[in-house]
Structures are given as C-alpha cells and as structure tokens.
Amino acid sequence: MEHISQRVQSLAPSATLAMSQKSAELKAQGADMINMSVGEPDFNTPDHIKEAAHKAIDENYTRYSPVPGYMDLRKAISRKLKEENGVEYAPEQIVVSNGAKQALCNVILSTINPGDEVIIPVPAWVSYMEMVKLAEGKSVIVPATIEQDFKITPEQLRAAITPATRMLMLCSPSNPTGSVYSKQELQALVDVLVDYPDIMILSDEIYEHINFTGSFTSMASFPETAARTVIVNGVSKAYAMTGWRIGFCAAPLWLAKACTKLQGQYTSGPCSISQKAAEAAYNGSQECVHEMNRAFERRRNLIVELARQIPGWKVNDPQGAFYLFPEVSAYFGKQCLCGKTIETDADLAMYLLERAHVATVAGSAFCMAGYLRLSYATSDEKIREAFKRISAALAELK
Ligand code: PMP
Ligand code: GLU
C-alpha cells in the first residue's frame, strides 16, 4: 500500500535537479549533452581543502560533531563574517548544516507558523517556495521582470506587506538572474522594513563571492535591522564544494538555538570531515576564490555576448552568480519541424534538451514564465558549442 503524506504530495520536485537528471539520462543513452541546467561550479575543490579532509580522517574526526557544528568552524565563520562582511555574529549564533539548503529550511521551519506570509521576490530559486510550503506558510511572490533588472523596488515591498508578514527572503547575487542589489538598493528596502519591526529578513548570500561588481554588501550590515537579519551562506559555490554539504545560518541567538533543536532531531551535526575541510576553506588562502571568480566573469562576458546574438532573446547584464536568465517569449507560438507548437518556457526548454542536447531550466520553475535559466558554470568551449546548437535549433522554429 502506498501512503504518502499530504505534506510531501504537495511539494514540487526540484526542477533544477530534475532537469539535470534528464540530461544525465540522455547522456547515458549516448547523447552528447551540454548541461547548463544545474548550478554548480565545474572546478575541483582546491587541494589545500582536500588535504584538510584527509588529515581530518587520519586524526579521527570521525565521530558525531556537536549538533550546530565544531566550535573551531563556527569561530572561523564568525571571523569571516566580521572581516569580510563587517557583521557581528558570535560563534554561538552560528549553526552549521548540510548545505545552505538545510540552513534555509531550518530557519523557515523554526520561524514560520501555518498561514504566516513570507515575501519572496521572484524570479527566485526553486526551493524557497517549497520550503515555505513545508512550513505551511504562504509565499507572497513579488515579481521583478527584466525591465527592472529583476530587482524589487521599495514600493513593491511595502505594497506586499500585510499584518501576516513574518519574513522577507532575499538572494543577492541572485539565483536565477545574476542580479546584484547595490548598497543603496538594499538600504531602500531596509528603510521600508524599519517601519515593520516584526518582519525577519532571511538573506541568502551563497553567491557572495561570485560577484563582478567589485563589492558586496551583506543585508545584515544595516544597523537598523541587523538584530532581525539571518544570513545563510556556505562553501558550496565559493570554494567549489557542492558535494561536501556544508552551509550555515548566522542568526539571533534565540533562532540559532531553535535551529539547533530542530537539526538535533532530524540530522544531527553535518559530516565531521566536511566540517574540517570547510574550516580550512575559511581559514586558508582566498586566492582560489578570486581565481574562480575571474573565470566566471570571463564566462559571463562570453555568454552575454553570445545570447545577445540570438534573435528575439532579451538579456540583462548579470553582475554575479553564474546564471543567465533571458526572456524568450518571442519563440512562443512557433512550430518545430515535428509539428509541435512551443507554447511555454517549459516546452522551449524541452525542445532545446531534445533537439540541441542543451539542458536549461524553464523560468516558470522560478515563478517567472517566459524565461529560461542557463548556468554558465561550464567551460568556455562548451558555452560556445551550446550557443551554436541553441542558435541552430531556434532557427528551425517557424
Ligand atoms: N541558495 C541558493 C540561491 C542556491 O542556488 C543554492 C543551490 N545550491 C542553495 C542555496 C543551496 O546550496 P547548498 O548546495 O549549499 O545546499
Ligand atoms: N542551486 C543549484 C541550482 O539552482 C543546485 C541545484 C539545487 O540544489 O537546486 O541549480
């Protein structure tokens, strides 16, 4: 007998992971796939971080760690936050989890009651809305299209607030658009929130270091709202450590304690060996981070140039992360050679997957129909080849 809870039935599967899986299946059948769906650095984890993991095994860091993570790692994170971001979170305010994903989920499950509203500017990463759903909260989505560089205005924020608003979730640099809020733009949002002292701010800063603006402002650096701001970050993107599964939240003490209680009941502390590797990432040389950032910037320039040559695509000027989010609705209503009509972004993503063997993700997965997301965390050569194929496949649509 199959019996799946309504909670899990109501969840959408992760579209980013699903598209990547489809790409892997086609590849296993022999297709020459270019996977621009999932967002993960194509670099290997730097050697000094891997060596720290070997050492951790040899030194028998193989037992349960404290639930919120080793104190040495939490101290390293606390120092990083102070030195790099100018924000004060004591080690006791930091909870290390299985990736930024679990850190986000811990915060949402620890603060959101059924019916509480969470304001989410969209397009937004696929998992935010599903995590809010898990908590039985309500996502209030605030759309920001390409015309406003995918960033919400203070007026939009104010208009979305109701007595039930509990939290604002923000992601800058953004997945899926690459947009980065400037200090002034963040200040304008903070100015609105000053009038609503009960609203928490959850700032997802996982793409902090993949940023081509030359500066990064943490949402927690504004004194007016710092005490109710939670930062989520981790090593997955900055240090090419997606598989190690280490992320963290830095939160008010009461919330860090709640996240620890929750984590203690369903996962315990994250992998001991990965924690020692993450400690080396934060305490070691940051040159690897700068080097990867330079490579992503070069690829950003390349993909923007190629995408602007595709007839009908509208492309913004992404300033960070490793995603391009072109507006592609000019192709809706066109027919492919097989006679099928492309009606939605999901149809177009599927067409490019099957015809061009290029995996992308439909914008509607990020709550914004009419767009595609392409991850350019792949080689220059593959980006060039992908665009040759995309261009040829789109030219066939009549
Ligand atoms: N936040 C955003 C915006 C992301 O794109 C991702 C994807 N990895 C995460 C959080 C989760 O990161 P992690 O792999 O550390 O769980
Ligand atoms: N965050 C990445 C993405 O958006 C990784 C996949 C995931 O966890 O969703 O593609």
**Confidence tier at 15 by pLDDT (50, 70, 90):** confident
Please state, in angstroms and rounded to a whole number, the distance separating the CA atoms of residues 10 and 256.
Answer: 28
Per-domain boundaries in the chain? 6-44+288-395, 47-284
User: Does residue 13 have a pLDDT over 90?
Assistant: no
Q: Which atom of ligand 2 is nearest to the CA of 361?
A: 10
**Confidence tier at 374 by pLDDT (50, 70, 90):** very high
Q: Whose CA is nearest to atom 5 of ligand 2?
A: 39
Residue (of 86, 71, 95) closest to 248 by Cα position: 95
- Which of 11, 14, 16 has the most ligand 2 atoms within 8 A of CB, as the residue to mutate? 16
Q: Contact, 364 vs 345, CB < 8 A? A: yes
Q: What's domain 6-44+288-395's architecture?
A: Alpha-Beta Complex (3.90)
- Which of 38, 174, 373 has the most ligand 2 atoms within 8 A of CB, as the residue to mutate? 38
Strand order in the sheet with 138-143: 94-97, 247-250, 229-234, 200-204, 165-171, 117-122, 138-143
pLDDT tens-digit map of 159-181: 999 999 999 999 999 999 999 99
Q: Which atom of ligand 2 is nearest to the CA of 175?
A: 4
Contacts of 224-228 with C-beta under 8 Å, sequence gap 24+, read 224/190, 224/191, 224/193, 224/194, 225/190, 225/193, 225/194, 225/201, 226/87, 226/88, 227/252, 228/197, 228/199, 228/200, 228/201, 228/252
Structure pTM? 0.96
Q: Is 137 in the pocket of ligand 1 (CB under 6 A)?
A: no
Gap from CA of 332 to ligand 1 centroid (Å): 31
| Per-residue pLDDT, 375 | 97
Gap from CA of 196 to ligand 2 centroid (Å): 32
CATH number of 47-284: 3.40.640.10
Average pLDDT over residues 70-96: 98
User: Does residue 78 have a pLDDT over 90?
Assistant: yes
